[in-house]
């Protein structure tokens, strides 16, 4: 099959758009939910504040399940189906499980998700439930969940769709292709939150492939940011008990450790830690100042950029892209902790006028 199911075409179907750069064969089922083709949104306020030439937000939260995971999952689940799998399995802090469950549904496969109990943002859990995934909530961390699913996938006929599956990284590298295709060049700096370290590895691969193919003449510095309570790539040793408000990146022993370090070193970039306070500060700037409502982990990319600026790094003349990885609606609890501008009123116009301070 060479055309998308349902006739969907163009930029929002990465398996077709970047087919020649992906492991897609004639036997790969071309199933799509409309992933990729996400907007690159120019900053309206923070760009000037940070002294950048240009600042863009890559709105990965506009993917079908509300996170960047769909880029990798559309390929990983298609390849699992192509290989005859009947079930997919993953460990997750929430977004991977939401995405795996959606694509498994679309392919008519069973999805099994293993998650740290009580540590998944509400919206993400709702997605896995809605798609009919079989959910196992373990008394342990994401790192424990990943160990368990790796062992299960060795013993049972299920396809593992975490980013240790190479198809996940292949699909996710298309985010870098889209940035270059849209800007006509690579940015100077790419800011990205880092948890299990698949995405920073994927973006670096995407930029590097375009560079090798001479579709672009430079590559960005990769600036990865981990939460301070879960920053093994910064300290150089796994964290036994990771802790952060950004539950999506609450990971103590990233599976693609070496990929992240290579991305950092080959790009002459950095991987640094941002505190929960810095993450929340960036989170609370993005929605009111830029119109971008993301989940806390996603704000780590901007938090890191703000941190570098505050530390005196000169950003003048530079173009930066922050990857905004997941939607704010996934974690309504954190959003509602913001002090709202809200009053109760009776249902009369004059009462609402008074509530607004107009009368």
- Chain residues binding ligand F0G by CB under 6 A are 67, 69, 92-96, 163, 193-199, 248-249, 295, 297-298, 325-326
Nearer to ligand F0G, 30 or 242 (CB): 242
For 209, list phi and psi in degrees, rounded to 5.
-65, -45
As measured in angstroms, the least distance from the Cβ of 156 to ligand F0G is 20
Residue with tokens 């306020």: 45
- Distance separating alpha carbons of residues 133 and 222, to the nearest angstrom: 35
Q: Minimal distance in Å, beta carbon 298 to ligand F0G?
A: 5
Residue 179 corresponds to which tokens in the numbers above?
A: 């940035």
Cβ proximity to ligand F0G, 43 vs 247, nearer residue: 247
Report the nearest approach of ligand F0G to the CB of residue 99 (Å): 8
Smaller CB distance to ligand F0G: residue 32 or 163? 163
Question: Would you put residue 8 in left (φ > 0), alpha (ψ -120 to 50) or beta?
Answer: beta
The upper half-sphere exposure of residue 228, i.e. CA atoms within 13 Å in the direction of its Cβ, equals: 10
Q: Helix, strand, or coil here: 216? A: coil
Q: How far is the CB of 11 from ligand F0G (least distance, A)?
A: 22
DSSP symbols for 99-112 = HHHHHHHHHT-EEE
DSSP codes joined into one string, 176-201 = HHHHHHHHSS--SEEEEE-SSSHHHH
Through-space distance between the first and last CA atoms of the chain, rounded to whole angstroms: 65
Rounded Cα distance, 154 and 158, in Å: 8
CB of 69 to ligand F0G, least distance (A): 6
For the bound state, the minimum distance from the C-beta of residue 315 to ligand F0G, rounded and expressed in Å, comes to: 23
Indicate the residue among 125 and 197 with the shorter CB distance to ligand F0G: 197
- Nearer Cβ to ligand F0G, position 30 or 280? 280
Q: Which is nearer to ligand F0G, 177 or 203 (CB)?
A: 203
| Residue whose Cβ sits closest to ligand F0G | 326
How many Å apart are CA 93 and CA 163, to the nearest integer? 13
């Amino acid at each position: 099959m060479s055309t998308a199911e349902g006739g969907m075409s163009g930029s929002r179907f990465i398996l077709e758009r970047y087919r020649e750069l992906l492991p897609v064969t004639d036997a790969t089922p071309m199933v799509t939910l409309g992933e990729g083709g996400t907007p690159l949104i120019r900053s309206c306020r923070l760009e000037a504040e940070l002294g950048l030439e240009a600042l863009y937000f890559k709105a990965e939260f506009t993917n079908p399940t509300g996170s960047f995971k769909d880029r990798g999952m559309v390929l990983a689940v298609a390849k699992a189906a192509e290989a005859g799998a009947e079930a997919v399995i993953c460990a997750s802090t929430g977004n991977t499980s939401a995405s795996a469950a959606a694509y498994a549904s679309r392919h008519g496969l069973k999805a099994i998700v293993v998650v740290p109990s009580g540590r998944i943002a509400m919206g993400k859990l709702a997605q896995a439930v809605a798609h009919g995934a079989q959910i196992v909530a373990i008394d342990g961390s994401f790192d424990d969940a990943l160990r368990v699913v790796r062992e299960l996938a060795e013993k049972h006929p299920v396809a593992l769709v975490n980013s240790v599956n190479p198809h996940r990284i292949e699909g996710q590298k298309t985010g870098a292709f889209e940035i270059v295709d849209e800007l006509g060049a690579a940015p100077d700096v790419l800011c990205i939150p880092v948890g299990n370290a698949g995405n920073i590895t994927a973006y670096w691969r995407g930029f590097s492939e375009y560079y090798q193919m001479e579709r672009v003449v430079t590559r960005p510095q990769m600036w990865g940011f981990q939460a301070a309570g879960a920053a093994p790539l910064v300290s150089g040793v796994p964290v036994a008990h990771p802790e952060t408000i950004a539950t999506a990146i609450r990971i103590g022993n990233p599976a693609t450790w070496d990929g992240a370090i290579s991305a950092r070193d080959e790009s002459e970039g950095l991987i640094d830690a941002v505190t929960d306070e810095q993450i929340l500060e960036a989170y609370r700037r993005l929605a009111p100042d830029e119109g971008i409502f993301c989940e806390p982990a996603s704000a780590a990319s901007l938090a890191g950029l703000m941190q570098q600026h505050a530390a005196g790094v000169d950003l003048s003349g530079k173009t930066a892209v922050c990857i905004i990885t997941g939607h704010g609606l996934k974690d309504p609890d954190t959003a509602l902790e913001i002090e709202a501008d809200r009053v109760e009123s009776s249902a009369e116009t004059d009462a609402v006028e008074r509530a607004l301070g107009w009368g």
